[in-house]
Amino acid sequence: MGKYLVKVFPHVNCQLVRHASFRANVSKPVAIRFRNEFAEILKKLKDNPYQFPSYDDPNLPTGIYRKALFAKWYKIVFYVEGNTVFLDAVVDGRSDLNQNR
């Protein structure tokens, strides 16, 4: 079991469903890979969220958010408070963060 608790905001669940559905329309193996890579990132976040780089975006507070890349174009935007990791967005890197909220 990891040292950190990972919490997913409800709107992130909706983003995940939307992205997975899109991937499933492309190909079932692609959707499965998306799911598996997301699960791997969650494990890594539970072990050490600080292994991922800061997320520098002019629309977000400096030095708070971090990002984890997976499934070629996707990124998880998150922040850490104490021993809790809060997933704030799952973003298709080919689009703007504000369009996915």
What is the rounded average pLDDT of the residues 11-28?
89
Please tell me the total count of domains within the chain: 1
Model confidence at 99: pLDDT above 80: no
What is the rounded average pLDDT of the residues 40-55?
96
Model confidence at 86: pLDDT above 90: yes
User: Which pTM does this prediction carry?
Assistant: 0.86
Model confidence at 54: pLDDT above 90: yes
Q: What mean pLDDT, rounded, does the chain reach?
A: 89
Model confidence at 101: pLDDT above 60: no
Summarize pLDDT for 26-39 with one digit per residue, the tens: 889 988 999 999 99
CATH number of the domain encompassing residue 23:
3.30.2310.20
pLDDT at 84 (0 to 100): 98
| Domain that includes residue 70, residue range | 5-100
Order across the sheet with 84-92: list the strands: 5-8, 84-92, 74-81, 65-70
Task: Kindly give, in sequence order, each residue whose CB lies less than 8 Å from that of residue 45, ignoring residues fewer than 6 positions away.
Answer: 2, 4, 6, 52, 68, 76, 78, 85, 87
